[in-house]
Structure 1
Amino acid sequence: MARAVGDLVAELEAEADANLELRASWNVAPTADVPIVLERLVDRTPRRQVHVATWGLVPRWAKDPSVGVRSFNARSETVLEKPTFRSAVKSRRCAVPVEGYYEWKKHPDGAKQPYFVHNADGTLTTLAGLYEWWKDPAKSDGDGDKWLLSCSILTMASPPDGGLAALHDRLPVPLGRDGLAEWLNPAATDPAAVLCAVLSDAYRVAAGWRLDPVRADVGNVRNDSSELTVPVG
């Protein structure tokens, strides 16, 4: 994510804390900080807000934050039952805005080619996610970092055919404009219905994605510049 805070907030039609800081990055890996957008009821009115969360969900019952390393993705098929996610999907749904994501395609000869998957028109893609607040029991109430905000990205099976099917068997769940509003709605109390609604529209949204082959440098998280997203060949 390399959008300036002001541009990000404007495109998401959200508000941000005055102290919100985002580090520009073109090669985000699990456990890194990412922007998320969520809605809260303030005086009974939904308020859409942008926050920064650690990518890798840490449930409230976790003894330490290390569990987040294994929960950066949540499978849509099991998210309603998995102990790590089933509480968050009921009332702590968020969206993760991205300019695109990388996926590796394996060719018959064994070679792998990374692709940058993004909206063809250059607009943000919002991915369905979940968030949690985790309280560190080792820190006092006065510590500023006592609470950890973390998130996970929802995934689903790729379409049965087409470019995405050939690229990988899974894809992050994209949200259209209406789907974003429905997914974030804090008044939506039936998580199964909300999940069904966004999944039913996901392939249509993903049909607008473009798949650009890029350099293998994206495989090393120490490489981080806009050149990583430039198509090759």
Structure 2
Amino acid sequence: MCYYSEQSEPLLKVEKRFNAKVDQPALFLQSDFIVGFEYLNVPVILNTSPEIIATNYHWGLVPSWSKDIDFRKNTLNARIETIEEKPSFRNSTSNRCLVIASAFFEWHWNDEKGKSKDKYRVSSSESELFAFAGIYETWLNSATGTNYNSFSIVTTAANKQMEYIHNHKKRMPIMLKQRDEMAWLDGRTNVQDFAFPYSVEMIAFRV
């Protein structure tokens, strides 16, 4: 799973890393701790405009057919094993995006009920900045007549390192290798090519 992330790098560094320009600098999110359930506008790069870093996409995908924005509390993550079957996601699998981050956070349970936990910060060994595999959608709010843009981070089975850290669910977000970012954005690429055992070498430590 992935409900807590970090995007702590400044705008210019993010633009340089992804060779793209932020569309609305005043809305650019820089934070040491991003909570998915706050549905913030996390910077993303869409497959339709890889030269732009979009700042108006909320974490928590709302399908175009949804009647209620509250649907997003169930769609912070999309399981890659069922992404092409679940009604929430199956119409969005070609709407690929890169979700920009510098780390994410997960908890190791020290007992069966998780009453005692250790928090870990996980990042990529490749770069201080990386991208999660994401999918996105635009929902029309019929009450206001306005569009709401949103995305979900795609998750897969945990590798050995994440099996230990996330020992309750044994899941992990798909952190893309830098060389594979454009391949993910290509909607013709098979989604399942990025399922475990695909993974990035991670750096993790308890915080």
Instruction: State TM-score, norm by structure 1.
Output: 0.76
Structure 2 match to 1:115: 120
Name the CA shift for 1:95/1:199 in 2 (closer, same or farther; >3 Å): same
What is aligned with 1:213?
206
Distance in 2 between residues matched to 1:182 and 1:49, nearest whole Å: 17
Corresponding residue number in structure 1 for 2:72: 68
Matches within 5 A, 1:3-18: 3-18=9-24
SS in 1 for 2:35: coil
1:17-36 → structure 2 map (5 Å cutoff): 17-19=23-25, 21-30=27-36, 31-36=39-44
Note closer, same or farther for the CA distance 1:54–1:149 as it changes in structure 2 (3 Å cut). same
1:135 aligns with 2:143: no
Map of 1:87-126 to 2, 5 A cutoff?
87-89=91-93, 91-108=94-111, 111-120=116-125, 122-126=127-131
The aligned counterpart of 1:224 is none
Kindly name which structure, 1 or 2, has the bigger radius of gyration based on alpha carbons.
1
Say whether the 8 Å CA contact 1:106–1:112 is kept in structure 2: yes
Decide whether the 8 Å contact of 1:179 with 1:198 is kept in 2.
no
| Structure 1 residue ranges, 4+ long, deviating more than 4 angstroms after superposition | none
Please state if 1:57 is matched with 2:61.
yes
Distance across 1 between alignment mates of 2:164 and 2:41: 30
How much is the aligned-residue C-alpha RMSD, in angstroms?
Answer: 2.0
Superposed CA offset, 1:179-207 (max 9, x none): 2111112xx43xxx52122236632x1x2
Task: Name the structure 1 match of 2:153.
Answer: 153
Aligned length: 193
Does the aligned pair in 1 maintain the 2:80–2:192 contact within 8 Å? no
**Native 8 Å contact 1:155 1:171 kept in 2:** yes
Q: Deviations over 1:210-233 (max 9, x none)?
A: 11111xxxxxxxxxxxxxxxxxxx
Query: What is the alpha-carbon distance in structure 2 between the residues aligned to residue 22 and residue 15 of structure 1?
Result: 11
Tell me which amino acid in the other structure corresponds to 2:30: A
Q: Percent identity?
A: 27
Unaligned runs of 5+ in 2: 1-6
Q: Partners of 1:213 and 1:60 in 2: how far apart? A: 39
Task: Give 3-state SS (helix, strand or coil) of 2:33's partner.
Answer: coil
**What is the match of residue 82 of structure 1?**
86
The CA distance in 2 between the partners of 1:47 and 1:121, in whole Å, is 21
1:217 is aligned to none
Contact in 1 for aligned 2:29/2:43 (Cα 8 Å): no
